[in-house]
Amino acid sequence: MKKVRDKKEISLRVSHKEAYIINKKAFKLIYSHYPQMIISWIACVIWNALTPYASIYLSALIIEEISTDRNPEKLKSLVIITLTVTAAISLINAFLSKWKDTQCAGMFYKVNRILANKLLDMDYVTIDDIKTHERLSTIKQNQNGGGWGLIRVIWNYDSIISAIFTFIGGIALTVSLFVKAVPQGSGRLTALNNPVFIFAVIGIMLLVTCISPALSNKAGSYYANRAENHNLGNRLFGFFGWLGHSREYASDVRIYRQDLICDKYNSDKTNTFGSKGIFARMAKGPVGLYNAAAAVVSVIFTGVVYIFVCLKAYGGAFGVGLVTQYISSITKVSASVSQLIETVGDMRNNASFLKPVFDFLEIPNTMRQGDKAIEKNDCIDYEIEFRNVSFKYPGSDEYALKNVSMRLKAGERLAVVGENGSGKTTFIKLLCRLYEPTEGMILLNGINIADYNYLEYLSMFSVVFQDFRLFAFTLGQNVGTRVEYDKEIVESCLCKAGFGERLNKMEEGTETYIYKEFSKKGVDISGGEAQKIALARTLYRASPFIILDEPTAALDPVAESQVYSNFNDIVGDKSAIYISHRLSSCRFCNDIAVFHKGELVQRGSHESLKEDAGGKYYELWNAQAQYYNS
């Protein structure tokens, strides 16, 4: 099997300034959505960073007392204070953790909801664009693969705040190490009091402290720069490891033994995550070396600290109690500096993955949002006019609709027919303002539809598209399209749409779940039943225009024709637009618009159009007649 591998390494590094700006922006974004979550998180981090010093300090006092005066009264009070403080710390810790756990429950989903909400707010034209989905897919892959992106911002701020407070606490308990002098008369050890020596030791400690995380960061950057390989590897593993064996492929896999292809991939040691793959090679090579070097350097640091502290204690600068305090605190200070540097490096790596997140979140909405209210009363005469409307899909040079001019009146029935690809759905999408015309304009009662409040305009239409979807919610919620719905109206709409018989057999009526995703008692429904529910949904919504855009394409022509004419009987005084490439389905309409290659080529009744021997309708009718002549 041909190996699917991308050896390209992309340099993702951004400047420190850029990294700072984008991380801050991401933090603000998350905070603006979930302030309580962030505040509770930070409170916990600070508390956990500072409190260990209380026990370090108090333990040092106890050890010091035991190793010097051994005063029982003083020891007793020290033990009581230590126990009380430790208990208070644990209590507050429990309280803070509970607060944080409550606020941070489902944090991963909360952060992802920021992306999901953007999808909801986008112009339809953007969401229909494949590039939008490619962007989102890259963001998801970065997140699922290496944990890069928005979620990492929280971990990084956690790490940086924890490091800063650990550093502050540690320094407070360490300063006296450099101030307490070895008493004169301690021989050569008095050299430890020399400021040059002190600065030299601090310098070595700092240097060693900084080298270690720099080496770890270097190791980490190898993974960041290979994120594309990681993502591709995940996708391949996802397919060959799981999907290739899943239910939807099961029959083909068995008949053609395609599992052998999956096994070949799964046992290939050179694939991305295999023992001879790119990540294994990196771990054995540079990444492993850098990590090992980082560990060695941090051992050197510990050694320097121990020698310095012990020599000073040996020289008589302080007692055993302070030895434990200094060693514990200074080790924490060093760890915090390393953590700080490592996190800054990680934030810089993550900045490259935050860029696509913001590119996605900042996709502008270009659709004009008018504010005009639509006049509404029962006897209002709506009239929609297409005036010289042409349309090209974004990125396409071809006109999907060309110079279409026509009028539609409320309460009338219109059939839109034409071959596949003739522009019928495009016409409907423009009518519903999912897209804006490239040229010309659409008017409602003489006013450009772009001037009306967008959501209000959208609510004028109930559409069942060919690829309509029902959700795994209850039947009532699917028809009523809200959590709270009017049960009686839902039932009446379902009955009108021909679903009454099945509804009567459902024990939980409109509260029955469709499909089984959210309820074990959920019911499976056939394609025909799904159509009936979708039709009931259009009836439930009190919108003046109802549109059926070939939701019955999977039925045979005769069955489709029946659904359409039955539906026509129940829509009452609403306007209805029927779309089909099968002319028989729409012949009951007095008004038929014929589309061909994006143009409106004919309009009239079935009888008149059928007589026009030179017209497109005549040609299509005779071509399709074999299906329904009998």
Question: Which residue bears the tokens 């959210």?
Answer: 518
Of the pair 421, 500, the CB lying nearest ligand ADP is at 421
Among the residue ranges 84-92, 281-289, 421-429, 479-487, the one whose residues contact ligand ADP (CB under 6 A): 421-429
Backbone angles phi, psi at 529, to 5 degrees: -65, -40
Cα(628)–Cα(630) distance, rounded to whole angstroms? 5
Cα(203)–Cα(211) distance, rounded to whole angstroms? 12
365 near 395, Cβ under 8 Å?
Answer: no
Among the residue ranges 101-109, 158-166, 304-312, 415-423, the one whose residues contact ligand ADP (CB under 6 A): 415-423
**CB 467 to ligand ADP: min, Å:** 11
Size of the site for ligand ADP (CB under 6 A): 12
Among 11, 377, 420, 629, binds ligand ADP (CB under 6 A): 420
Among 272, 426, 512, 575, binds ligand ADP (CB under 6 A): 426
Residues 352-391: x where in contact with ligand ADP by CB under 6 A, - otherwise, as a string: ----------------------------------------
215 near 294, Cβ under 8 Å?
Answer: yes
Of the pair 421, 528, the CB lying nearest ligand ADP is at 421
Among the residue ranges 49-57, 419-427, 563-571, 611-619, the one whose residues contact ligand ADP (CB under 6 A): 419-427
Positive or negative torsion for Cα 436, 438, 443, 446: positive
Among the residue ranges 268-276, 423-431, 493-501, 566-574, the one whose residues contact ligand ADP (CB under 6 A): 423-431
321 near 67, Cβ under 8 Å?
Answer: yes
- Residue 356's Cβ-side half-sphere holds a number of Cα atoms within 13 Å equal to 19
Token reading at 368: 């004009």
**CB 396 to ligand ADP: min, Å:** 5
Token reading at 60: 């040092």
Residues 541-560 that bind ligand ADP (CB under 6 A): none
Question: 474 pairs with which residues across the strands?
Answer: 513
Of the pair 326, 399, the CB lying nearest ligand ADP is at 399
Residues 607-626: x where in contact with ligand ADP by CB under 6 A, - otherwise, as a string: --------------------
Cα(162)–Cα(184) distance, rounded to whole angstroms? 40
Of the pair 317, 594, the CB lying nearest ligand ADP is at 594
Residue 130 contacts ligand ADP per CB under 6 A: no
Name the DSSP class of 451: G
Token reading at 93: 């810790």
Name the DSSP class of 587: T
CB atoms < 10 A from the CB of 152, how many? 22
Of the pair 128, 259, the CB lying nearest ligand ADP is at 128
What radius of gyration, in Å, describes the C-alpha atoms of the chain? 36
Of the pair 128, 412, the CB lying nearest ligand ADP is at 128
Residue 101 CA to its chain's centroid (Å): 21
Residue 630 contacts ligand ADP per CB under 6 A: no
Residue 421 contacts ligand ADP per CB under 6 A: yes
Residues 390-409 that bind ligand ADP (CB under 6 A): 393, 396, 400
**CB 392 to ligand ADP: min, Å:** 8
Classify burial at 398, counting beta carbons within 10 Å of its beta carbon; exposed 0-12, middle 13-18, buried 19 or more. exposed
Token reading at 565: 């004419």
Please give the sequence-ordered ranges of beta strands (E in DSSP) within 410-481, or none if there are none.
Answer: 413-417, 439-444, 447-448, 461-464
Question: 414 pairs with which residues across the strands?
Answer: 577
**CB 512 to ligand ADP: min, Å:** 33
**CB 620 to ligand ADP: min, Å:** 12
Among 213, 233, 321, 418, binds ligand ADP (CB under 6 A): 418
Among 145, 170, 423, 557, binds ligand ADP (CB under 6 A): 423
Residue 422 contacts ligand ADP per CB under 6 A: yes
Q: At what angle do helices 320-361 and 16-33 cross, to 10 degrees?
A: 80
Residue 425 contacts ligand ADP per CB under 6 A: yes
Residue 438 contacts ligand ADP per CB under 6 A: no
Positive or negative torsion for Cα 454, 457, 463, 469: positive
Cα(199)–Cα(346) distance, rounded to whole angstroms? 30
Backbone angles phi, psi at 433, to 5 degrees: 65, 35
Cα(68)–Cα(62) distance, rounded to whole angstroms? 10
Of the pair 100, 424, the CB lying nearest ligand ADP is at 424
Among 348, 424, 433, 496, binds ligand ADP (CB under 6 A): 424
Residue 305 contacts ligand ADP per CB under 6 A: no
Of the pair 298, 422, the CB lying nearest ligand ADP is at 422
Compute the residue count for the chain.
630
Pairing of strands 383-391, 439-444: antiparallel
Nearest to 356 by CA among 37, 118, 158: 118
Among the residue ranges 102-110, 112-120, 417-425, 473-481, the one whose residues contact ligand ADP (CB under 6 A): 417-425
Of the pair 178, 393, the CB lying nearest ligand ADP is at 393
**CB 489 to ligand ADP: min, Å:** 31
Among the residue ranges 26-34, 56-64, 134-142, 418-426, the one whose residues contact ligand ADP (CB under 6 A): 418-426
**CB 401 to ligand ADP: min, Å:** 7
Token reading at 500: 């009454």
**CB 393 to ligand ADP: min, Å:** 3
Residue 155 CA to its chain's centroid (Å): 17
Of the pair 28, 133, the CB lying nearest ligand ADP is at 133
> Which residues of this chain interact with ligand ADP, rule CB under 6 A?
128, 393, 396, 400, 418, 420-426
